[in-house]
Chains A and B, each alone.
Chain A
Amino acid sequence: MKITVVCGYDYSKHTLALLHLLRQEGISIEECLIVSEYSFKRFAYFYRQLDKKEFVKKFKDRIFGNITNVTMSDEVKYILALCKQHNIKENKVSLYCKNNTIKYKIVDNLNSPETLQFISGTDLAVYTGGGIIRKSFLEKFKIGVLNCHGGKLPEMRGMNVAEWSVLLGIPCVNTLHFMARELDMGPIIEIISHDFDSCENIDQLRGLGINYTVHDLVYGVKKIISNDYQLTVQKKEEGKQYFLMHPILKDIVNKKLFLSHV
């Protein structure tokens, strides 16, 4: 089976870990698409969507954290530990690809004709970030585009679903699913429960969640390769779309997580 990994930015540690763990399982990667970190559109998107504190944190983690190798937030610690545990030396996806003879391309946008042309007719894409994808991209893969959503589908679509789960007092889970044109609406492969009991704040919740996501994606790829899965179709009315959580509600979530350990 020919597999493409789709990555949100070149310094993505969880993509590095995913590539490594997939290879460790004997799964070969045909190619990797890396969305360029430095596009004005992307910068503007993050600036508009994120609260300013989070924007600064993201900026520090992604830019300075990667250049200077200084960990800026708890969120990154978990994935760095995973990379260290697996002795991943590279700090960039492109470098990892180069060292392991995986074809790669840095693109501005996943839906551009240039990107679509690069995709060499692989069977499966594994999505680890890179923005909104269109039908033309989805149609490039015979089996589909695998995603791991950090919340329970079909109930919780959208953003910050781990935080929303805590606020609502429901367990944090991951959902493996194929992507569809509509956000988080593709057919579900499996819902996977995880233990987040150790988390005392959102950064830890997200950090640990990223590690679980990496493992779940490897698990999902293996299931797809062995054709050992059944799909559950989602209906829109079965769930709600969640949006970026306001900093004041995030503070409440942090407090709730902290108090659960007192």
Chain B
Amino acid sequence: MNERLFLEEKEFEKRTVAALQWLKRSFDVNDGMGSSAYYTQLWKGYGWTLAYPETTGYIIETLFDYDPLFPGLNLEEYAIKAADWITTLQLPGGALPGGFSNSKDPSVFNTGQMVIGLVRAYEKTKNKKYFETFHRAVYWLVDNLAEDGSWKLGAYNTGYIPSYYTRVIWPILWANQYINDPVINEKMTFALKFYQDRLTERNSIKNWGFKEGQNAFTHTIAYTIRGFYESSLILKDENVNSLAISLADKVMRCRELQGKLAGWYDEQWKGSFWFTCLTGNCQMAIIFSKIYEQTKDPRYLNTALKVFGDVVYKQNMSSNANKRGALAGSSPFYGRYLSFRYPNWSTKFFLDAYLLIKKNVELIENTL
């Protein structure tokens, strides 16, 4: 594969438009009421699944980001419709539901992810409806914080507190920039500490996988690091910022020394290289790009290019409209992460990474 081609204008447009069209299709199959979790021909629930509120939430960001680039795709319309739909899902206590669109179970993590989309929609439209929804969601999250700074209810796996909850702290802090409650920032600083304390001697974070004792996909590793990173920027907390960067440095080293990222890693950074978690690569590319923007250290952009370059040509570019533009969970297709499926969040993070990398490379070029 040509390692330079993917940033050429034509290629960028071809691939991102295909990905956006696929995301739009994931909404269209639900009459705009949320984006389907994934498309599959080889997994239970064949075809398009029910809408998935959690990822619909953070896809809103991506749609807004790309709207100015491709106004003809009506992405803003999709984003607003998605945000409107999320406001209808709010449970009486303020929580937002986990699982598919037919679920009524409150979920800590999924609430956090939907807050991302709601805050973004509010920033864009100043519509109070979004503010009121994320305001209630944020207070549900803050009020349910346990004494030790963790969340014990609304878990994906009952009794297990994953470290990627740092990605719940970030949207709370982001929302609080509009809510303006100093207690929230205090509580979230305390909550972050809970996960900071999980740092191991090998510079990994305990329990950053989906299950206790299970290896962590790069997807959840990236969730955790991104949570630390974005929170540190909002709080202007240098310690948390250093921690996030040192974790990213470890991932950088793994990629650079092995020539690829493993699909998942144990706490000792022993990885399984037979598969790649495609979304994890894209998420790490986003983190490296953001660290590059902060530090101007080009090594981060370098690794962003590599981890993204490792997956960009895995995008499905067939003529099948249910697949064209989508990025699978794993490569090979039968890999451990979301085997045989095209999850909407893979394509979302693919788009986010692509845009950031392109922007940063252009910035360097423009300084010549």
Contact = CB atoms under 8 A, between A and B. Distances in A.
Contacts of B252: 243
Interface stretch (A68-76, A102-110, A210-218, A249-257): A249-257
Contacts of B297: 240
Question: Helix, strand, loop or mixed for chain B's interface?
Answer: helix
B298 interface: yes
Contact of B302 (A53, A249, A259): A249
Nearest to B253: A241
Given A48-B259, A246-B309, A252 B364 contact: yes
Contacts of A49: 259
Contacts of A164: 298-299
B173 to A, nearest CB: 30
B119 interface: no
A249 B298 contact: yes
Contact of B306 (A53, A240, A246): A246
Interface string A212-249: 00000000000000000000000000001111111111
Nearest to A258: B368
Interface string B1-35: 10110010000000000000000000000000000
B301 interface: yes
B368 A256 contact: yes
Given A248-B305, A252-B365, A255-B368, A242 B3 contact: no
Given A246-B309, A248-B7, A255 B365 contact: yes
A123 B31 CA distance: 78
Contact of B256 (A244, A251, A252, A256): A244
B256 A249 contact: no
A243 B303 contact: yes
A202 B297 CA distance: 20
A248 B4 contact: yes
A48 B257 CA distance: 10
A175 to B, nearest CB: 19
A242 B303 CA distance: 10
A80 interface: no
Interface in A20-75: 48-49, 51-53
B298 A251 contact: no
B256 A247 contact: no
A119 interface: no
Contacts of B368: 252, 255-256, 259
Contacts of B253: 241
Interface in B173-188: none
B366 to A, nearest CB: 11
B143 to A, nearest CB: 43
A167 interface: yes
A255 B295 CA distance: 23
B299 A246 contact: no
B361 interface: yes
B256 A246 contact: no
A247 B305 CA distance: 9
A147 to B, nearest CB: 20
Interface string B133-176: 00000000000000000000000000000000000000000000
Interface string A132-172: 00000000000000000000000000000000100110000
A224 to B, nearest CB: 32
Interface string B307-329: 00100000000000000000000
State the 5 A-B residue pairs at the shortest beta-carbon distance, nearest first: A48-B259, A243-B256, A246-B305, A247-B3, A246-B302
Interface of B: 1, 3-4, 7, 252-253, 256, 259, 297-299, 301-303, 305-306, 309, 361, 364-365, 368
Interface of A: 48-49, 51-53, 164, 167-168, 240-249, 251-252, 255-256, 259
9 contacts: A164-B299, A167-B298, A240-B297, A242-B299, A243-B302, A243-B303, A246-B3, A248-B3, A248-B4
